[in-house]
A and B are shown apart, each in its own frame.
Chain A
Amino acid sequence: MLKRDHQVILPTQARAPGFRVELRGTTFRLVATGAWTVAEATQLDSALKRLRVPIPPTPDFTGEMDIAGIAEIDTAGAWLLQRTAAAWQASGLRTRYAGATEAFRILIEEVQSKGRAERPKIEKRNALTQFTDDMTKTLTGVWRDAVQLTAFLGEVTAALGRMIRQPWRFRTTSFVHHLDHAGFRAVPIIALICFLIGAVVMQQGVVQLKPFGAEPFAVNMVAILALREVGILLTAIMVAGRSGSAFTAEIGSMKMREEIDAMRTLGIDPMDTLVLPRILALVVALPLLTFIGDLMGLAGGGLMAFAVLGLDASNYLDKLRDVIDFQHFMAGMIKAPFAAVIIGLVGCLEGLKVEGSAESLGTHVTSAVVKAIFLVIILDAIFAMFLSGIGV
């Protein structure tokens, strides 16, 4: 904001901005007064818009912006003056400024010269083209993801093959670290969740089966469900949320800071050091976590069976032994390593796809979790069809 009097120091009084138009001789004058600043701009803008542009009766009429009465001015004020002057100019009045200080003149000239820049047009697409565009983008995106994931699976398999031939390339420390983080530290949350879901399913089962007098069968339901579906699905979803996202974030932030490029130039293969230890750790950890999840699901069901059916522990265990077959347990367990590979692959691949910015990291972490959970559920559905097909 420029003040008219820089040297004279007075307590600043916000003087209300204003203007009037008068005709003196052959000159239309806009006499502006007060503070022409951005704070007053709305008011000035609407008043100036209501102002009619004077039409010169003969060509020798001129215009004048008399700003001697302006105490304070800033870009917004100068721009408003300039807009008015330009409109007058366009109607055939040669318009000049009067009463400007040196500082005011510099500002007004700057606004004059900079305000003329051409503006780019934003192209507006109609809704239909936009919709089809987005649709095409999404679908090709899905296809591209599938291709990338398959290619990445190939790379990981090749790296695994290399490592089996040269076992000293295996990164034990890294593997143990991830086993600890993705496996051991996930035990409490997975145990708790499976326990609660087991209890809830048992309670709901009893309530729903009671009208048929079949409430003891709730135990069968919980036992089969926990072993075949709930244990593995809950565990895999939790691990995808916990460790899949962590993999993407860790690898992604290394990618962001060019650490991965640095590794490559030092002759270290990120496949060996970053990807394989993580995936292998998950392949070991997920079945173990699933086993804990299965047990806790059954335990939760047992607690609820005692509460609503009055079955004590030994009766509950006897019933379980009648219901459960080894193949039920295996039907759930067999999915665990496959789910682990999916979560690990998606997590690491998304991490490697991160580009320079922090936003990109955020997007990829989100998409890693979403894709991993989606693929785990697809995997589960495929297994369900396959297992029922072979009669397990």
Chain B
Amino acid sequence: MIVENGREVVIRVRGLAKSFGSHQIWDGLSLDVFRGEILAIVGGSGQGKSVLMRVITGLVTPDAGEVGLFGQNTKTLSPQDRLEIERRWGILFQDGALFSSLTVLQNIQVPMREHLELPQAMMDDLAFLKLSMVGLPANAAYKFPSELSGGMRKRAGLARALALDPEIVFLDEPTAGLDPIGATDFDHLIRKLQQTLGLTVYMVTHDLDTIFTVCDRVAVLADKKIVRTGSPTELQRHPNHPWIKDYFCGERARAASPGERPRIPA
């Protein structure tokens, strides 16, 4: 276990480099994620925000650098240990990435079936519980993903990500494509679940409202690395970087900043 300033570091990324063809997206990227925080990764398009999430979760291999999860270096993990670690996180992909041939209930039960041997009745009960925790009505359980709206698909995807009570959840653009009301509801849901389940949330987002209302810390991806981390208000007050200034001090940011809008209490 790695500890820094009295907080446990659950994800430690050091010296990451990755190129696609001749285009280098990062050079020496480093990042720490602490237990129990809601961290937002922001950055312009093409800076590799989603790719970073994929590198951490092992879907993409970096050209250089190291990823440490729960204090273990992913390079030296045996497949068995890797599986153990995969059980400790949940991922919500952009459009939910639900399996289209399974109902919502079956989708939520997939991780339970794969990793554990639970009795069917218990899996049903737990899946219904998760469904209601993410704010979906019980009658959504027997529907197929194609019968759900975009917002419901995201919630169902979140329920699947939470199926095994993970320690970390990765959210890829959780509020993209939702209407403002739906997005606000989703922000509240994330905060609520983070508190109830003691989650660490790693979120890729563009949404300034989400950043200002729920995120504890923001990491800014620019110039091929994480240029700054800090609380949203801190970054807004002292940008110290042209991109951060544009992002946090532009018109939209002023409208979304906490002066105008109450923060969801932590």
Contact = CB atoms under 8 A, between A and B. Distances in A.
A117 B124 CA distance: 13
B3 interface: yes
A103 B122 contact: no
Interface in B22-59: 36
B86 interface: no
B165 A1 contact: yes
B146 interface: yes
Contacts of B165: 1, 37-38, 74-76
Contact of A103 (B1, B100, B132, B198): B198
A39 interface: yes
A42 B117 contact: yes
Q: Which 9 A-B pairs have the closest CB atoms?
A: A74-B165, A114-B132, A2-B198, A120-B139, A117-B132, A110-B196, A117-B138, A119-B138, A107-B196
B129 A9 contact: no
B128 A75 contact: no
A138 to B, nearest CB: 21
Nearest to A37: B165
Contacts of A9: 1, 3, 8
B36 to A, nearest CB: 7
Contacts of A266: none
B36 A75 contact: no
A114 B128 CA distance: 9
18 contacts: A1-B165, A1-B197, A9-B1, A9-B3, A9-B8, A38-B112, A38-B116, A39-B116, A42-B119, A42-B122, A76-B165, A107-B196, A110-B133, A117-B132, A117-B138, A118-B138, A119-B141, A359-B100
Contact of B167 (A1, A103, A111): A1
Nearest to A82: B129
A41 interface: yes
A11 B129 contact: no
A16 interface: no
Interface string A52-94: 0000000000000000000000111001000100000000000
A106 B132 CA distance: 16
Interface string B119-150: 10010011011101100001101100010000
A6 interface: yes
Nearest to A109: B196
Contacts of B117: 42
B195 interface: yes
Contacts of A45: 118-119, 122
Contact of B146 (A76, A111, A357): A357
Given A42-B117, A114-B129, 15 more contacts: A6-B36, A38-B126, A41-B122, A42-B119, A45-B119, A75-B133, A76-B126, A76-B165, A79-B126, A79-B129, A83-B125, A106-B196, A110-B133, A111-B129, A117-B128
A122 B126 contact: no
B195 A106 contact: yes
Contacts of B138: 117-120
Interface string A11-51: 10000000000000000000000000111011001100000
Nearest to B136: A117
B139 to A, nearest CB: 5
- Counting chain A CB atoms within 10 Å of each CB, the highest count among B112, B167, B198 belongs to B198
A387 B13 CA distance: 76
Contact of B142 (A74, A75, A115, A122): A122
Interface string B162-175: 10110100000000
B129 A115 contact: yes
Interface string B58-76: 0000000000000000000
Nearest to A118: B138
A193 to B, nearest CB: 34
Given A76-B126, A118-B138, A359 B146 contact: yes
Interface string A354-390: 0001110000000000000000000000000000000
Contacts of A119: 128, 138, 141
- Counting chain A CB atoms within 10 Å of each CB, the highest count among B118, B162, B196 belongs to B196
A115 B127 CA distance: 10
B1 A75 contact: no
A76 B124 CA distance: 12
A118 B132 CA distance: 10
B162 to A, nearest CB: 8
Contacts of B139: 120
Contacts of B125: 79, 83, 115
Nearest to A49: B119
Contacts of A3: 198
Interface in B165-199: 165, 167, 195-198
